[in-house]
Structure 1
Amino acid sequence: MSPRVPPQSVEAEQAVLGGMMLAPDSYAAIAGVLSESDFYRRDHRTIFRAIAELAATGKPFDAVTLGEWFEARGKAELVAGGAYLIELASTTPSAANIRAYAGIVRDKAALRQLIEVGTKIVNNGFAPDGQDAGQLLSDAIGELMRLHQTSDSCEFTGKQAMNMAWEEVVRAYENGGALPGITTGLPSYDEITGGLHDGDLVVIGARPAMGKTALMGTLVEAAAMAGRRPGVFSAEQPATQLGLRRIAAESGVSAARVRAGKFEEDDWAKLNAGMGSAKARDMWIYDRSAVTLDELVTVARKWKHQHNIGCLFLDYAQRVTVPRTDRTTEVATVARGLKNLARDLNIPVVALAQVVKGVDSRDDKRPKAGDLANSDELTREADQIVMLYRPAVHDPRAPVTLAELWIEKNRHGPIGVRKVAFSPATMKFSDASQPRPESF
């Protein structure tokens, strides 16, 4: 049995190189799609590198200048003393289809990378070298996800960045002012933040008993209703309790009565309707009290690959563990990992976070971004930081239904405070009826 030849297209590689020699202006577009390693043949990789070096210094890259480049480096034999360069330029009819040829070259390179990753996964399975199966699986999924990403380039000119920004402006105008991100189900909050944005890390902080999990539930349901297929990591509460909360919120029947089974005959219809609407929405839940960061990343990548989740929620950040690190380093590592995950999967990641106990001893018990427990890294990495406060927790004279969302950080716009309504019975948040206060 003859050995299999890796995927390649010599003709497409020749057409790309010859096309750039014929039309130097096409180099910028091709350089954003292809890299030196995408070419299969060694001589083609070196020719592409020569073109890149000459272009970087503003020099032309025709058969003559490229021949001089190879001669100066003692590599003329790679291009037959320059004859192969002349052949490339003379046999390429035009550069009209150079982008299509570049796509073929990139596709063949991706197939070779897939073979390489697959071979590595197989070899690691046979010889794990001390790594456990969970770590190997996480690494494998990560490498496959990176292959799956379709971004053409990480490098842009200022003009390209402005053109992409202008496209966003036009798209926003054509959407007629529609929300750019995922709705939270709280229009007044969406108004100031634009919703939950792909690639963002959103941190929601509060002291215990303020309703962090209930607020997350409101955001999860809103995302699910919008068809964004949320994934939920629940380190704080079992999946069954989350299900009971969903039934109460959807049916309008008190959560306490649902848990105790103390409801009237006519409540059954409400419960059945709530159950039906909640079950109809796609959602994935991972229920583990001490999930590791590697475990979280592995499962999230799997959900993205298998179910195309559109957002991720975590209850809560300080419960995620990183083995063999101190507490501050652990939370800092988790913060960076969550931000990287949001960028890699291009989805919003919403993480609940605990606030330091010292807040309770202050006269003004409203928490600030600097009160997040154990880590300044959460503050630095987050794109949005929201602090939840319910005055009635500390002041019995305050309405039990009043809640405040203090937007302490917002990379997409202003900061400010929004008052929302909280239903203690169903543990559901909604927009408050009173006028919104001014931003601070």
Structure 2
Amino acid sequence: MADIALIDRPAEIPVRMLPNNVEAEAAFLGAVLIDNRVIEELSTPLRPDHFFEPVHGRIYERVQQLLDRKAVVTPVTLKPYFEADEALKDLGGASYLARLTADGQGLLAPRELAEQIYDLALLRELVSVGRNLVDSALDTSESVDPMEQVSAAEAALYAVAEGAATGTDAQGFAMATRTALGMIEQALLSGGHISGTTTGLHTVNEKIGGLHDSDLVILAGRPGMGKTSLATNIAFNAAERLRSDIADGIAADKSVGAAVAFFSLEMSADQLATRILAEQSGISSEALRMGKISRDDFQQLSYASQRLAELPLYIDDTPALSIAALRTRARRLKRRHDIGLVVVDYLQLLQGSGRANDNRVNEISEISRGLKTLAKELSVPVIALSQLSRAVEQRDDKRPMLSDLRESGSIEQDADMVWFVFREDYYVAAKEPKRPGEADDAKTHEVHAAWAAEMEKVYGLAELIVAKQRHGSTGKVRLKFEPRITRFSDLAEDAMAAHSYD
């Protein structure tokens, strides 16, 4: 048998330079210094770290800072900032800035130069990802999980595809401030209520300011409270707002709506679609499932389905997903459809890595951390539904608390917001006394009448309890719930006369 050649033979592998074009960088900077408007016309998101030559990166960063101050940038105005730059002295000192503008060739094709600088930076990031991938794949120690390596590699490749740096450099405060001002501007333009994605519920938006990018929102409730209905309502409202805004000529990045990825581990895609059809057509879900509808109802249903055909709502009903697989699928949807909201129904049905399966609390901790990481990685809000423990049923006041979250420690810690859905009519209905007949005494009639009066007072009312919120105050929002079509909506003005939320 022939000898197997060793993979690692560094003596025979030539040293290759990382992809770069320093001349293109110099020509582009020269064009910018001759005509500052070049930067305003760029379609490529060029950043200082995209330049291969560090000096060029520092020059570009200073140019951006001066332009932000509305200053005119020329070699002369730049000179004071680089007189002490040791690396620039090796290139000829401050006179190098003047040489950049000597021939002006960059003005012939500044956009093309910027695109080439950007593309080469992405190739360098890809080389870095490849090196790290090879290094980690050659690690055969027992502590290494190959599937985790695959997931990490996918995340790194996604970052390259999105044009994000794969490093962990700290972000300048100026950039963070610009992002914050952008959110404040969006809230101002929306009428002073929403700085993120809309929930479609006015009173909820007023309380939380919309769904914020990078936030993990935990939506919890006991069975029968309507948490899946509320999540479906919010997903539909966000997708419908984006669709209508685009139809009205509003750019997607200016809309408070969003394309939505709905991961349904409990219900099938057609069951979720039936719920949305029921909500939009006004026909009960039960009637739709059993076919108990008239011809007029069917026409109404057909009209509703036509309106929903172009809805940017993507449902993945794959059962028993692992957190790693969910993150992979979410990245793919972000790349293909630019989703702006992820909904997971529900958290306890997700699976962790094999190593955490021996301890359910550790597995839930891994899943909640993974969902928070996903929110930050894609820069979208993630709504994850969660079960509550049975401790709620043992109390007189059935309103949930943070301690009622199952395996609550890590979920409560990782979440930016925790919401509880509570419907008092659910519990009042369960306490219905014996229905009185003609032969029953007055006391039986009186007891049932008192129950009926209490039921009438609370029927169709729901509370969204905001138990944790990093961006603002906690409290509760009162909503209307229509169980026939599983729809949450804002209460009418007269019903909110006392207070819409605490």
Shift of 1:419: 1.1
Structure 2 CA distance, aligned partners of 1:161 and 1:307? 26
From 151, 154, 164, the equivalent of 2:170 is: 154
From 402, 406, 410, the equivalent of 1:373 is: 406
Structure 2 CA distance, aligned partners of 1:128 and 1:308? 35
What is the correspondence of 1:155-304 to structure 2 with a 5 Å cutoff? 155-157=171-173, 161-162=176-177, 165-166=180-181, 168-177=183-192, 179-227=194-242, 228-304=258-334
**Amino acid in the other structure paired with 1:427:** T
Q: Larger relative contact order (C-alpha < 8 A, sep ≥ 6)? A: 1
State which drifts further: 288-297 or 392-401. Answer: 392-401
What is the correspondence of 1:24-423 to structure 2 with a 5 Å cutoff? 33-34=47-48, 66=86, 85=90, 87=92, 89-93=94-98, 107-117=119-129, 138-150=151-163, 154-157=170-173, 161-162=176-177, 165-166=180-181, 168-177=183-192, 179-227=194-242, 228-322=258-352, 323-325=354-356, 326-396=359-429, 397-398=454-455, 399-423=458-482
Task: Pick closer, same or farther for the CA change 1:237–1:48 going to 2, 3 Å.
Answer: closer
Task: Pick closer, same or farther for the CA change 1:279–1:105 going to 2, 3 Å.
Answer: closer
SS at match of 1:314: strand
Shift of 1:151: 5.8
Structure 1 CA distance, aligned partners of 2:84 and 2:317? 65
Structure 1 CA distance, aligned partners of 2:479 and 2:84? 71
Task: Pick closer, same or farther for the CA change 1:375–1:110 going to 2, 3 Å.
Answer: same
Q: Kindly indicate whether the alpha-carbon contact (under 8 Å) linking 2:184 and 2:195 is maintained by their aligned counterparts in 1.
A: no
**Amino acid in the other structure paired with 1:198:** D
**Amino acid in the other structure paired with 1:147:** V
TM-score by length of 1: 0.77
Structure 1 CA distance, aligned partners of 2:271 and 2:209? 30
Q: Which residue of 1 aligns with 2:440?
A: none
Shift of 1:177: 2.8
Percent identity reads 32
Task: Pick closer, same or farther for the CA change 1:413–1:61 going to 2, 3 Å.
Answer: closer
Q: How many residues align?
A: 394
Structure 1 CA distance, aligned partners of 2:325 and 2:501? 39
Residue 437 in 1 paired to residue 492 in 2? no
Q: Kindly indicate whether the alpha-carbon contact (under 8 Å) linking 1:232 and 1:313 is maintained by their aligned counterparts in 2.
A: yes
Shift of 1:64: 8.2
**Amino acid in the other structure paired with 2:365:** A
Structure 2 CA distance, aligned partners of 1:150 and 1:338? 22
RMSD: 3.9
**Amino acid in the other structure paired with 1:179:** I
SS at match of 2:225: coil
Q: Which residue of 2 aligns with 1:8?
A: 20
**Amino acid in the other structure paired with 2:208:** T
Structure 1 CA distance, aligned partners of 2:201 and 2:84? 65
- Give unmatched runs, 5+ long, in structure 2: 1-13, 31-45, 59-79, 243-257, 430-453
Q: Kindly indicate whether the alpha-carbon contact (under 8 Å) linking 1:400 and 1:424 is maintained by their aligned counterparts in 2.
A: no
SS at match of 1:324: helix
Q: Kindly indicate whether the alpha-carbon contact (under 8 Å) linking 2:283 and 2:485 is maintained by their aligned counterparts in 1.
A: yes
